[in-house]
Amino acid sequence: MNDSSATATTRRAHVTGWGRYAPSQVLTNADLEKMVDTSDEWILSRTGIRERRVAAAHETTASMGAVAGLRAIRTAGIEPDDIDLILLATLTPDYWMPSTAALVKEAIGNTKATAFDVMAACSGFVYGFATAQAYIQAGLAKHVLVIGAELLTRFLDYTDRSTCILFGDGAGAVVLSASDEPGGALGIELTTEPQGAYMIWLPAGGSKAPPSAGTIARGEHFVRMEGKETYRFATKTMATTALESIRRSGLQPSDIDLFVPHQANVRIIEAVAKGLDLPMDKMFVNLDKYGNTSAASVPIALAEAVNEGRVKVGDNVTIVAFGAGFTSGAVTIEWTADPARGIAGDAAVRPEDVSVRLPVDWNSVDPIPEALAEVMRRPGSIDVPDDVAPGEPERVRREVHA
């Protein structure tokens, strides 16, 4: 690990920066009606999802993560080279190697950080958060950039309505900074229950089933999910994991001002609220706009909640997620940063100013699945600006091209 001014006596990890990025292209339920046997009413009633974002052909997990990461850095009021460690949670890396975190390091203009990926599926951001806190508590880092980024729409079977309706693309990030002041991360709980390992999985592409003409023909490079079993696990485990995190913080559920759960399904979130005996207005929900963005869902939701004024200094916030593995994780945080910094931090970074260096000639590759490309070319698909509040300070151009 690189040398840092943090010391072993610095024990608390405070959230000092946050940022998010959502691709401009929107895939609505009406669009999906043209692709698969489904309807807006069917999707909305079962999931709460109205639309999701789709990355453009030139966008990657790394490029989206870099935008969100730079926005978090700007919100924190530091420079990219102040970051000692970059952790990127994803199940959709740009490549099997190098790590996507390494690509992000170069893209944001950092020269000194250690960088590596975290893979715990939809729980990945929370696992990364816990890892960052451990580095800070050990005195190994002063500022840690934790990113959740996913490009799931390229790993979906658009004939399978049980999965293709659920997922979207995007990225979110936080900066955790060492502090000897009270607050910050208070209690963490992580779990893994491998009896559910094959309830959500991507069968081929690893060493057990390397890519081949056969695996491609059989559709084994698409996400597969057993919905009922996953629902049962999620509703039980998210509540118990959140409760343990809150208990470790010395608090009760009633002490929590806002819960930011993994945005998988509104029915799951409602069940978790019921399990914690809390009203839904304490649960932040934005899956109607983004769908399930896996490891990106919690940091996107957290950044949006803060920027919308749902969090103030001194509030207790619990983030909680579940994912393939089965995994789950929760962190309870005492918020210490000025929420007003977030929108200006987002506005300070333009996506078009961030690029990830590619191998020679790879710019010509069109990675968009043909079924998805066809429907997105049809009239009526919505293309909206990047999700930054209007009327805020003009974006500051920053050249970060490799």
Q: Which residues of the chain have a pLDDT value below 50?
A: 1-8, 381-402
110, 164, 262, 265: the catalytic one is: 262
pLDDT of residue 375: 72
- 388 domain-assigned: no
pLDDT at 368: 79
16 phi/psi in degrees, rounded to 5: -110, -15
Rounded to the nearest angstrom, the gap between the alpha carbon of residue 390 and the centroid of all alpha carbons in its chain is: 23
Which candidate in 14, 29, 110, 122 is catalytic? 122
Residue 319 has what pLDDT?
99
Tokens of 294: 């896996």
Residue 400, in any domain of the structure: no
pLDDT of residue 360: 64
221 noted as active-site residue: no
Is residue 6 situated within a structural domain?
A: no
Q: Number of structural domains, the chain?
A: 1
Whether 292 sits among the annotated catalytic residues: the reply is: yes
Given this model, what pLDDT does residue 268 score? 95
What is the C-alpha to C-alpha distance for residues 330 and 82, in angstroms, rounded to an integer? 27
CA-angle at 163, arms to 157 and 167, nearest 5°:
100
The C-alpha atoms of residue 84 and residue 286 are separated, in whole angstroms, by: 31
| DSSP code for 353 | G
Q: Residue-wise over 293-312: b if at least 16 C-beta within 10 A, else e?
A: bbbbbbbbbbbbbbbeebbe
Helix, strand or coil, per DSSP, at residue 144:
strand
* CATH code for the domain in which residue 128 is found: 3.40.47.10
Question: Domain of 222?
Answer: 12-383
398 within domain boundaries:
no
Say how far apart CA 17 and CA 348 lie, in whole Å. 13
DSSP 284-323: ---HHHH-B-GGGHHHHHHHHHHHTT---TT-EEEEEEEE
Q: What is the pLDDT of residues 72-107, one digit of tens each?
A: 999 999 999 999 999 999 999 999 999 999 999 999
User: What pLDDT does 198 receive?
Assistant: 86
Q: Cα dist. 353→350, 356, 392, 401 in Å?
A: 5, 10, 19, 7
The answer to whether position 393 is within a domain reads no
Whole-angstrom distance, CA of residue 297 vs CA of residue 238 = 15
Asked if the structure places residue 253 within a domain, the reply is yes
Residue tagged active-site, from 29, 110, 292, 316: 292
CA nearest neighbour of 175 among 316, 287, 324, 19: 19
* Long-range contacts at 55-59 (CB < 8 A, ≥ 24 apart): 55/23, 55/25, 55/151, 55/153, 55/154, 55/169, 56/23, 56/24, 56/25, 57/366, 57/367, 57/368, 58/363, 59/23, 59/151, 59/169
pTM of the model as a whole: 0.90
Instruction: State yes or no: is 164 an active-site residue.
Output: no
